[in-house]
Amino acid sequence: ETGVTQSPTHLIKTRGQQVTLRCSSQSGHNTVSWYQQALGQGPQFIFQYYREEENGRGNFPPRFSGLQFPNYSSELNVNALELDDSALYLCASSLVRGGETQYFGPGTRLLVL
Amino acid sequence: GDSVTQMEGPVTLSEEAFLTINCTYTATGYPSLFWYVQYPGEGLQLLLKATKADDKGSNKGFEATYRKETTSFHLEKGSVQVSDSAVYFCALSDQRAGNNRKLIWGLGTSLAVNP
Tell me how close the Cα of B80 comes to any Cα of chain A, in angstroms.
Answer: 23
Give residue-wise pLDDT tens across range A53-98.
Answer: 998 899 999 999 999 999 999 999 999 999 999 999 999 998 876 6
CB contact under 8 A, B107 and A41: yes
> For residue range B14-44, what is the model confidence (pLDDT) as tens digits?
999 999 999 999 988 779 999 999 998 788 9
Mutation target for A interface from B36, B88, B90, B103: give the one with most A CBs within 10 A. Answer: B103
Percent of chain B whose predicted confidence (pLDDT) is above 90:
76
Single-letter amino acid code for the residue at A19 = V
CA distance A14 to chain B (A): 23
Average pLDDT, chain B: 92
* A68 CB-near residues (< 8 Å, 6+ apart): A32, A49, A50, A51, A52, A53, A74
Q: Average model confidence (pLDDT) for chain A?
A: 92
Q: Cα torsion at B95, A59, A21, A88 (round to 10°)? A: -80
Interface touch B100/A55, C-beta < 8 Å: yes
